[in-house]
Amino acid sequence: KTDDGARIRAEHHIRPADGSPLPDGEGVGKVAMTDAPDRAFIDNIGRKWTALTRPIRTLVVQDVSGSMRQEAGGRSRAALLKEASLYGLGKLPKNTALGYWEFSIDRGGPGVPYREVAPIAPVMGKTDGVPNRDVLGTAIDTSLKNLGGGTGLYDTALAAFKQVYDSYDPAYSNSVILMTDGRNEDPHSITLDQLVSELNIMKNPARRIPIVTIGISDDADADALKRISDATRGSTFIAHDPKDIGSILLKAVSYRVEDA
């Protein structure tokens, strides 16, 4: 509003703050002034943009219990999931980091229902000279051919969340994708209430880690999966129709906007 300010505006043909015409007549006519947008709205857009542009880093946790042998649409649930997983693996962005666990009961030894098959690593990297996409593809194929046992859901969900929490990378959008066709069958595991309580205690606004759950068929415990996801601000998808597994898996892997 000073004289110097007016002079500088005139030199550079900049209108005054009130939108009135320039002194020399250029830009004749009032300019419609818009109201400043709501700050909360701007912050929300910023968070979503950050989430969308941040690369994906996720731990995929796959049920390999005996029930995965059951037929769905003329093929086994395992065969359908393998096909969808391998297809999705080839569609992931190059800057994705992915890890893979399998679980049933005692899969990792007595009392440990889960087993790490491939640690979280960039899909474009290499392990012992082998591209990580190929490592993950082989891991998925092998796991879904080696089925057996019951479903150790709750201990696995908590361990997977802790794994991603402890290795959290702020440069990525971190998450857990948990897939199952059943319900917890491990008599020695924590309860669902204990799991949800632990997840709520561990939640940290600075480390957003949604657990995205996928129920493979209507046999999955949809209520339990929803409670697990809700505790971490994740989402639940149920593949009521076997042909939906592929599209649901891709949605789960790219689940980032809701995380914001």
Which domain, by its residues, includes 235?
A: 55-253
Tell me the pLDDT tens digit for each residue of 3-42. 777 777 777 767 676 666 666 555 555 656 677 777 776 7
Say if residue 83 is in the same domain as residue 196: yes
Q: What's the pTM? A: 0.78
State whether 86 and 198 are in the same domain: yes
Same domain, yes or no: 133 and 15: no
C-beta of residue 152 within 8 angstroms of C-beta of residue 105: yes
pLDDT, one tens digit per residue, over 146-181 is: 999 999 999 999 999 999 999 999 999 899 999 999
Asked if residue 98 and residue 222 are part of one domain, the reply reads: yes
End-to-end CA, the chain: 40
Q: Does residue 163 belong to any structural domain of this protein?
A: yes
Question: Looking at residues 237-241, what average pLDDT do you find?
Answer: 85
Is pLDDT at 222 greater than 90 in this prediction? yes
Domain presence at residue 29 = yes
In this predicted structure, the answer to whether residue 140 has a pLDDT above a threshold of 60 is yes
Give a yes or no: residue 260 inside a domain. Answer: no
- Best CA proximity match to 20, nearest among 7, 34, 33, 37: 33
Instruction: Provide the domain count of the chain.
Output: 2
Q: Are residues 12 and 96 in the same domain?
A: no
pLDDT category of residue 260 using cuts at 50, 70 and 90: very low
Cα angle 85-59-106, degrees, rounded to a multiple of 5: 90
Mean pLDDT of 183-193: 95
Per-residue pLDDT, 166: 96
Answer whether 16's CB lies under 8 Å from 9's CB.
Answer: yes
| pLDDT score at 32 | 65
Residue 179: Cβ within 10 Å count = 27
Domain match, 30 and 111 both: no
Whether residue 32 is found in the same domain as residue 126: no
Mark whether 77 and 164 lie in a shared domain: yes
**Longest distance between any two alpha carbons in the chain, whole Å:** 86
Res 251: pLDDT: 76
The CB-based long-range contact list for 222-231 (8 Å cut-off, 24+ gap) reads 224/153, 224/183, 224/184, 224/192, 225/178, 225/180, 227/192, 227/196, 228/157, 228/178, 228/192, 228/195, 228/196, 228/199, 231/195, 231/196, 231/199, 231/200, 231/203
Question: Among residues 154, 136, 153, which one has the least CA distance to residue 65?
Answer: 153
Which parts of 144-221 fold into alpha helices (H)? 153-166, 192-202
Which percentage of the chain shows pLDDT scores above 90? 55
How far, CA to CA in Å, does 176 sit from each of 60, 119, 153, 235, 254?
6, 13, 13, 11, 11
Residue at 258 is within a domain: no
**How far is Cα 184 from Cα 157, in angstroms, rounded to an integer?**
11
Q: Give the domain CATH number at 111.
A: 3.40.50.410
Does residue 197 lie in a domain region?
A: yes
Q: Is the same domain home to 141 and 64? A: yes
Residue 234 within a domain: yes
- Both 92 and 32 in a single domain? no
DSSP 57-119: EEEEEEE-SGGGGSEETTEEHHHHHHHHHHHHHHHS-TT-EEEEEEESSSTTSTT--EEEEEE
Measured in whole angstroms, the distance separating CA 72 from the mean position of its chain's CA atoms is 26
Q: Is residue 73 part of a domain?
A: yes
Q: And the tokens for 100?
A: 């893979």
Domain assignment present for residue 137? The answer is yes
Question: Can you say how many angstroms the Cα of residue 150 is from the centroid of all Cα atoms in its chain?
Answer: 26
Same domain, residue pair 200 and 77: yes
Same structural domain for residues 140 and 69? yes
Q: Between the CA of residue 239 and those of 3, 68, 77, 83, 163, what are the distances in Å?
A: 68, 14, 11, 15, 26
Core vs surface per residue 39-60: b (16+ CB within 10 A) or e: eeeeeeeeeeeebeebbbbbbb
